[in-house]
Structure 1
Amino acid sequence: MTSEAFPIVSRHAANTAGRDFVVGDLHGCVDALRYLLREIIFDPACDRLFSVGDLIDRGRQSEEALALLDKPWFFPVLGNHEEALCLVAEGSMPRRAWEALGGSWAHAVPDAVLRAYARRLRTLPLVRVVGSGPRRFNVLHAEFFGDDAALDAGFFTERVYQQLLWGRELALGSGIVERQTGLSPTYCGHTPMREIGRIGSQIFIDTGAFASMGKLTVTEALTARAWSISVERAVAEGAAQMSLP
């Protein structure tokens, strides 16, 4: 594959027709997403849903989450759990290491299907940049230290690549916030929070959807509006019978 065909950084024009939303780490909790999309009155004709990655593992609906890749309104970035699936399918990671991350759902998935998932996931960017100027926001999985220009350039060292997928320095308090000077609001996940939180330019929206006390969160980009629900409550409210747009 080439960087021209599958860019590391994907750019999107501002949405002048509808609204843009960002969803936290899904982790196979599609029923919670069904509920939230109905709650926000999501319009697939003009609204867009960006994802900070980690669609799969831990929850019970990983394959349903992967099916979201076919939705024209859904725009995810690669997460570390998708990276793990790809590495297993490509023979670079033992299955037991992925299973420790929550990949045991794939036991019944034929190798050919897993490889097909990996090929599709390898087309996902590490970063999505939406809009420009004061209406710009970025979407990535874990963390990034640098400004918009460095993000736009897309020339990431191996260390930066790993930080984009696995980094927790900022969330755990060891990252230097000032290294984000010049970075537009940047939505990320990876590190579960009790509630949406902002550190420097980064807005952490993973609220642990797969966990017993967790919930899935969707926020409207560049606003204070956010919606959350636990899988248990979503199912109790009939989410399994709700259709996706």
Structure 2
Amino acid sequence: MTSASVNTVEHHPANEAGRDFVVGDLHGCVDALRYLLRSIAFDPARDRLFSVGDLVDRGEHSELALTLIGKPWFYPVLGNHEDTLCGVAEGRMRRQWWYGIGGTWAMDLPDERLQQYAALLRPLPLVRVVGSGKERFNILHAEFFGSDLELDAGNYSAETRQQLLWGRDLALGNGDPALQRGLSLTYCGHTPVSDIKQVGSQVFIDTGAFSSSGKLTIVEPKVLRRWSVSTDEARADGAAALPLP
């Protein structure tokens, strides 16, 4: 279940002009995102939004979520659901398996369209690093065991890549937090949690946006602020009519 990322790690300088935010697993819940961007008064000219991946599947607007990749203010990492889409487009995985984890939105999509989406997704890095020193934070999809130095090295083994995309040991209490020594604050998704959960250096922010009881969460790392909203709450407040920046 792998497809090659062109860049495994991408570094970004600190944002001296504006603010940085990180959003949890979107899963097609674009209306909730519209609402939160308004709530934080997001300025696309100065602010940046980083994503822990899983833009697609399960929610209603997967194709619209994929258009975010073209926004100059949006910086996602590859999630396991994007990796699966690429696997299907490349003929290495069966569509039926993907449908079982939320890919039914693509049931009527021709292979050509799916391949176009895969071409957008393949270049996404597995890891993004923002800033340096004490101000540094990392973004990845699932989990990582190691230090900043090991994270920066890239060239991950197949096992490490699997952990970055599919791992749940740390969030479920089965991983040793001591294996994160030397790791800066790291924002992750993948494992749905009822509220933001920090285990050692890793902060899990997938609050289940696609589920009826879940919400989409955005955090601002530098000031440790957070905002959350359900899709129903967002739509009740007119979010569907809000433009994306």
TM-based fold match above 0.5: yes
Matched AA of 2:43 = D
Using the size of structure 1 for normalisation, the TM-score is 0.97
What is the percentage of aligned positions where both structures have the same residue? Answer: 64
Whole-angstrom CA distance in 1 between matches of 2:157 and 2:123 = 19
- How far residue 221 of structure 1 moved from its aligned partner, in angstroms, is 1.6
Whole-angstrom CA distance in 1 between matches of 2:25 and 2:16 = 26
4+ residue segments displaced more than 4 Å: none
Q: Does 1:38 align with 2:38?
A: yes
Structure 2, unaligned runs of 5 or more:
none
Deviations 1:161-215 (A, max 9, x none): 0000000000111101000000000000000111111000000000000000000
Residue 162 of structure 2: aligned partner: 162
Check whether the contact 1:137–1:222 (CA below 8 A) recurs between aligned residues: no
- How far residue 31 of structure 1 moved from its aligned partner, in angstroms, is 0.2
CA RMSD of aligned residues (A): 1.0
Whole-angstrom CA distance in 2 between matches of 1:222 and 1:77 = 20
Check whether the contact 1:177–1:199 (CA below 8 A) recurs between aligned residues: yes
Whole-angstrom CA distance in 2 between matches of 1:223 and 1:113 = 41
Whole-angstrom CA distance in 1 between matches of 2:155 and 2:8 = 9
Deviations 1:109-157 (A, max 9, x none): 1211100100110010000000000000000000000000000000211
Deviations 1:201-241 (A, max 9, x none): 00000000000000000000233200000000111111110
Say which SS state the counterpart of residue 96 (structure 2) adopts. Answer: helix
Deviations 1:29-81 (A, max 9, x none): 00000000000000000000000000000000000000000100000000000
Matched AA of 1:203 = V
Structure 1, unaligned runs of 5 or more:
none
Q: Does 1:123 align with 2:103?
A: no
- How do 1:50-199 residues align onto structure 2 when only pairs under 5 Å count? 50-199=50-199
Say which SS state the counterpart of residue 198 (structure 1) adopts. Answer: strand
Using the size of structure 2 for normalisation, the TM-score is 0.97
Whole-angstrom CA distance in 1 between matches of 2:201 and 2:139 = 11
